[in-house]
Amino acid sequence: MKYRTLTGTGLKISRFSLGTMMFGGQTGEAESLEMIRYAIDNGITSIDTADMYNLGVTEEIVGKAIAGIRDKVVLATKLGGRMSDDPNDAGLSRHHVIKACDDSLRRLGTDYIDIYYLHFPDYSTPLAETLEATTQLVRDGKVRYVAVSNFASWQVVQCQWLAEKHHFIAPVCNQVVYNLLQRDIEGELLAC
């Protein structure tokens, strides 16, 4: 397995990451655990999940799989999706960011998240409020690095600008959809 340094950090990650979106849903727990262990045994150190994948079940499975070997895994999870009917149990408000992190830590069976992604923009919450909350999570030791997912280039720039202006922790990466059918980032993010 080849490894690289996550840009802008000193964190070494495997070039391949195991995505877990189907674990606990289309892929049963036993098969999911087997896949995670196989990936780790073959040098994949990066595991990517999200709180909203199967309403937390996926994070619980990942937590079981990494129990006892947590320090060998770079664990990424995301927040922002709707987790219940409670109007505050979604989005990127300070309230939800802190609650979602604590819930993910419990489900994952760990006391820290290596990379914590804002899963998608929340147009009803000021971005400064979100970055202030994620900065506090880093300072509290619950999160090592902040990241974004599905943010446009102007939103990434806005994050960087707010971080510099207010001394927030800036996101270190942006996870985006890019495949043979979804190529929107070629004219937007990759052109930068």
Which residues are marked as active site?
Answer: 53
According to DSSP, the residues that pair with 19 across neighbouring strands are: 48
* Cα atoms found within 13 Å of the Cα of residue 160, Cβ hemisphere only: 11
- Cα 140 from Cα 133, distance rounded (Å): 11
DSSP conformation letters of 32-62: HHHHHHHHHHTT--EEE--TTGGGGHHHHHH
- Pairing mode of beta strands 46-48, 113-118: unpaired
